[in-house]
Amino acid sequence: MNDVTEVPQPDGREPASSDGIPALPIDESRLAMMRRIKRLPVTDRIALLDRMCREQTRIAVGTTRVR
Protein backbone atom coordinates (compact mmCIF):
# COMPACT_ATOMS: atom_id res chain seq x y z
CA MET A 1 0.00 0.00 0.00
CA ASN A 2 1.29 3.48 -0.81
CA ASP A 3 2.04 6.01 1.89
CA VAL A 4 -0.86 8.37 2.44
CA THR A 5 -0.26 11.93 3.56
CA GLU A 6 -2.91 14.12 5.09
CA VAL A 7 -4.16 16.90 2.88
CA PRO A 8 -5.28 20.08 4.65
CA GLN A 9 -8.96 20.94 4.40
CA PRO A 10 -9.62 23.63 1.76
CA ASP A 11 -11.76 25.70 4.16
CA GLY A 12 -9.15 25.63 6.95
CA ARG A 13 -11.15 23.45 9.32
CA GLU A 14 -9.81 20.30 10.90
CA PRO A 15 -11.37 16.96 9.99
CA ALA A 16 -14.26 15.95 12.27
CA SER A 17 -12.36 13.00 13.70
CA SER A 18 -8.66 12.32 13.67
CA ASP A 19 -8.74 8.93 15.41
CA GLY A 20 -10.20 7.00 12.49
CA ILE A 21 -13.81 6.99 13.71
CA PRO A 22 -16.07 8.47 11.02
CA ALA A 23 -18.18 11.46 12.00
CA LEU A 24 -21.95 11.12 12.11
CA PRO A 25 -23.76 12.46 9.06
CA ILE A 26 -25.55 15.78 9.55
CA ASP A 27 -29.14 15.71 8.42
CA GLU A 28 -30.83 18.73 6.85
CA SER A 29 -32.88 19.71 9.90
CA ARG A 30 -29.81 19.74 12.14
CA LEU A 31 -27.87 21.74 9.57
CA ALA A 32 -30.71 24.28 9.36
CA MET A 33 -30.77 24.57 13.17
CA MET A 34 -27.01 25.14 13.26
CA ARG A 35 -27.35 27.88 10.65
CA ARG A 36 -30.13 29.59 12.64
CA ILE A 37 -28.02 29.50 15.81
CA LYS A 38 -25.04 30.90 13.92
CA ARG A 39 -27.13 33.94 12.93
CA LEU A 40 -28.20 34.66 16.53
CA PRO A 41 -26.68 37.64 18.33
CA VAL A 42 -24.01 36.76 20.88
CA THR A 43 -26.26 37.51 23.87
CA ASP A 44 -28.93 35.14 22.57
CA ARG A 45 -26.34 32.43 21.90
CA ILE A 46 -25.05 32.76 25.46
CA ALA A 47 -28.62 32.56 26.82
CA LEU A 48 -29.25 29.44 24.73
CA LEU A 49 -26.05 27.81 26.00
CA ASP A 50 -27.03 28.69 29.58
CA ARG A 51 -30.47 27.09 29.15
CA MET A 52 -28.91 23.97 27.63
CA CYS A 53 -26.39 23.65 30.46
CA ARG A 54 -29.09 24.10 33.10
CA GLU A 55 -31.28 21.48 31.45
CA GLN A 56 -28.41 18.99 31.22
CA THR A 57 -27.52 19.64 34.87
CA ARG A 58 -31.14 19.03 35.88
CA ILE A 59 -31.15 15.76 33.93
CA ALA A 60 -27.83 14.65 35.43
CA VAL A 61 -28.94 15.43 38.99
CA GLY A 62 -32.21 13.56 38.49
CA THR A 63 -30.62 10.36 37.23
CA THR A 64 -29.59 7.48 39.47
CA ARG A 65 -26.26 5.76 39.15
CA VAL A 66 -26.42 2.24 37.76
CA ARG A 67 -23.78 -0.19 38.91
The domain in which residue 56 lies consists of 28-62
Predicted pLDDT of residue 62: 83
Residue 33 lies in a domain: yes
Structural domains of the chain, count: 1
- Cα–Cα dist 15/54, whole Å: 30
Asked whether residue 39 is assigned to any structural domain, the reply reads yes
Residue 17 lies in a domain: no
Please report whether residue 6 resides in a domain: no
- Is residue 51 one of the residues assigned to a domain? yes
Higher pLDDT, 67 or 9: 67
- Is residue 1 a part of any domain in this protein? no
In a domain, 4, yes or no: no
pLDDT for 4-53, tens place per residue? 555 555 555 555 555 566 766 778 888 888 888 889 899 999 999 999 99
Asked if the model's pLDDT at residue 57 lies above 70, the reply is: yes
